[in-house]
Amino acid sequence: MQEKKHNLDLEVQYADTRLEKELTEEMLQRWVQAALLGPAELTIRFVDAEEGQTLNRTYRGKDYATNVLTFAYNEGEELGAEDPTQADIILCTDVLQREADEQKKTVEEHAAHLVVHGVLHAQGYDHDHDEEAEEMEQFERDIMEVLGYPDPYSD
């Protein structure tokens, strides 16, 4: 697997600025590109636990902050080769930092994995069923390896 460059319009929003210097736009761009299967128009937004919980409650009916939320706007549509995937990917700084600590990972490697995970969701990948989950997790492992990070699912 090699890194391919796809047409990407990426906006990064640091509503929660705690990781703005540590997780740069250049890093995010590289991680997104590694997971892209075609052109995309994406926003990555870093939020605190309060905003993360509000979004998760409002749009998923789950009243807690989660690590990553993906809002795919053209999910289920037949996209032509030049039609971009459109999505917002929300990363909750509080959850990201806590999980990285609990999993004994750096914030950078955990954030890279969550970005890759979110970008795959934006492109229609899911993990609701075992077979889908195995395929998505293997794809994530492959992408993380290309990016030079360890297997995100190893203990």
Q: Is 127 annotated as a binding residue?
A: yes
Per-residue pLDDT reduced to its tens digit, 97-148: 999 999 999 999 999 999 999 999 999 998 888 888 899 999 999 999 999 9
Per-residue pLDDT reduced to its tens digit, 65-103: 999 999 999 876 777 767 899 999 999 999 999 999 999
Q: Is 117 annotated as a binding residue?
A: yes
Q: How confident is the model at residue 2 (pLDDT cuts 50, 70, 90)?
A: very low
What domains does the chain contain, in order, with CATH numbers? 8-147 (3.40.390.30)
Q: Is 121 annotated as a binding residue?
A: yes
Q: Token pair of 128, please? A: 């609701």
Nearest of 61, 80, 64, 60 to residue 121 by alpha carbon: 60
Residue 3: what pLDDT? 52
Per-residue pLDDT reduced to its tens digit, 6-22: 899 999 999 999 999 99
Residue 7: what pLDDT? 92
